[in-house]
Structure 1
């Protein structure tokens, strides 16, 4: 039997490389697996040999102990891989295909999937709509920070790259198609970014930088990125963004210095529930980003909210925050007729178009997010550096495909 190593959450602040079973075409019991999913047949799936699998800020929420993730949960929802086995019912995907895996697991059969709402598939998670690999309360599908991973509903879920050699030349860029590039793009689209727009993006982590890249791709006139981390702000400036240093205070005054007015057409929250306030010694204040975006966005505008919010946060600053209940100035949003779009990005709505933009040299997403390949064994170090604020998108290289 082929061996399989994987990165697992152990306890707050700690991940570890462990041995796990090689995948089979049946969902087995294990940490985080919903009991109703145990024994589920996956003849419609494939087994991938992992080419690239990224560390995501959403993983960091679990690793910090800010979710109800159980010990030994195998992490990883940003997966690119080569097909090595196909299930009995797979018709179009073949052994040897090189594919991107949307982080949303979707059946392709339910009402939501048929309406392109693949982030809230009704059939893959017994607890609630929506599922993902290696994530708490998402059905228990084993994560992809491993040598091998099972992908269900393969004909539907996988995005096959049209030319393997050409794809491998741009593999770090294409590795961003599983999550952060479509997620950032979704944030920009749902915020209404278009030709000539002025845009404020809260957060200069990988998703924020992907949203900024997307805003440029969509024709924005001015893209402004705000953060407390100067190294990440420098990364945003490296590809033409204006920046706001939130250690110096709130964003309105600095935005006015850039645009002449303290407002923008479009706002994107790429931070989520661990948001902090403004100023040099800013403390956690989870509603800060959403409230500041409502203040900053012009009347009639929209907010894209790809930043993660949860219903269970053991580390929340108060009892309300622990349940995902935040003190929002909804009256501001209502008075200004603002629109809000939240939730998982429906990756398949965008990933093929973004793949074509990458393959035809229209965008350099890996450079913009500072993608860096590291070994599977170095995953704990990568998690620690990312958590400390490194302006880097860490891409794990379990099987030596990446130079």
Structure 2
């Protein structure tokens, strides 16, 4: 039996790569017991990980900003080669290289049938929706590993049509598991279309993916705001306008300097609950209020940035349970459309795959994909936490071409 290793949360600011059992074709016991399903999972496959990425959502856990316990396995951005499959897997075969949506979905419940795979009703006893290697998401083992089990494989997996082409473009295709669909979801739900002016709050990987997606959707101008100059430089590298939101003056004036008007057609919050004010102090509602202020009346707000119901490190008691001081009256007065929640990856990943395979999207360049080994994952987490303008792609088996 092959060995396996996985990245594990060891406490605030610390992760380690540790041995773990080789996966079995089984669902977590807690899911089986609560949901009335068998532990045995003939619908599942085991993947040899080709690439798995470090995500800002992982970083929230590693900073101690969730209720994740020590020992939580990490990693939900997974691309892999099928090395074993259950006897109920009909259309995926050993040797196939596939993208894994970070949403675990059964493909059978009402929400899955309505394409709301981010809130599947059958894979998490705690709430609707699940993910690999994430707190309160059903106990599924994380994919920053050498091998991982994927349930309901025929439904969940996106098979790449050609193995050699997939490996050649793997640094782009690895983004299909989360940040490319998530960024696209934010821009799409914000109503981005031909000629739109778009503001993206946050120049981390999801913000950069949202900005690139807005360009694919036909935006005339994409403005990215952040406090990190290195990340803003990365946004400029593929044609975005940028604003350092910490450099004095109201943001409306800075937008006016770019567009000639102080408002945009639509906005995307790619920051989430760990947002900071100009002073550097944490202010979890600041971005939500900012995008309401700068979006025109009748405009839309896409909010893929993560917000949580439990944040032990929040600046006040309300924020610790996800209760934020949002200027909802302003949004109401401006007839804003708010769209929040996990991206339903399967809604977008096939189309975005085709955009990559036919050279219409260059997401790896947009987010500065940077390949590291599994052993280098702890250092990657530290660099990412310091604000590195990179998207770290872990290569556990040396399969990514130089």
Q: TM-score range by the shorter chain?
A: over 0.9
After TM superposition, the structure 1 = structure 2 runs for residues 3-402 of structure 1, keeping only pairs within 5 Å, are: 3-28=3-28, 36=34, 40-249=39-248, 250-278=250-278, 281-402=279-400
Instruction: Please tell me whether the aligned partners of residues 28 and 39 of structure 1 are also in contact (alpha carbons under 8 angstroms).
Output: no
Instruction: Please give the alpha-carbon distance, in whole angstroms, between the structure 1 residues aligned to 2:91 and 2:73.
Output: 28
Alpha-carbon shift at residue 34 of structure 1 (Å): 9.0
| Alignment of 1:2 onto 2:23 | no
Secondary structure (helix, strand or coil) at the match of 1:248 reads coil
Q: Secondary structure at the match of 1:9?
A: strand
Given the two structures, how large is their TM-score scaled by the length of structure 2? 0.97
Contact 2:31 2:123 in 1 (8 A): no
Aligned Cα root-mean-square deviation (Å): 1.3
Runs of 4+ in 1 over 4 A off after TM superposition: 32-35
Aligned counterparts of 2:323 and 2:41: Cα–Cα separation in 1:
37
Structure 2 CA distance, aligned partners of 1:176 and 1:115? 24
Alpha-carbon distance between aligned partners in 2 of 1:308 and 1:391, rounded to the nearest angstrom: 19
Distance 1:110 1:169, change over 3 A: same
Q: Secondary structure at the match of 2:242?
A: strand
Give, in whole Å, the separation in 2 of the partners of 1:383 and 1:34: 32
Partner of 2:246, secondary structure, is helix
Aligned counterparts of 2:38 and 2:105: Cα–Cα separation in 1: 18
Q: TM-score, normalised by structure 1?
A: 0.97
Q: 5+ residue gaps in structure 1? A: none
Return the alpha-carbon distance in structure 2 between the equivalents of residues 25 and 354 of structure 1. Answer: 29
1:167-206 superposed Cα distances (whole Å, 9 cap, x missing partner): 1110000000000000000000000000000000000000
Q: Give the Cα–Cα distance (whole angstroms) in 2 for the partners of residues 297 and 289 of structure 1.
A: 12
Counterpart secondary structure, 1:193: coil
Structure 1 residue 39: Cα displacement: 6.7
Q: For residues 335 and 103 of structure 1, what CA distance do their matches in structure 2 show?
A: 36
CA contact (8 A) 2:89 2:153 kept: yes
Q: Measure how far apart 1:41 and its partner are.
A: 2.5
- Counterparts of 1:223 and 1:16 in 2: how far apart (Å)? 38
Deviation at 1:35, TM superposition (A): 6.8
Secondary structure of the corresponding residue to residue 268 of structure 1: strand
Relative to structure 1, is the Cα distance of residues 155 and 33 closer, same or farther in structure 2, using a 3 angstrom cutoff? closer
Q: Deviations over 1:350-391 (max 9, x none)?
A: 000000000000011001100011000000000000000000
Q: In structure 2, the residue corresponding to 1:247 is in which secondary structure? A: coil
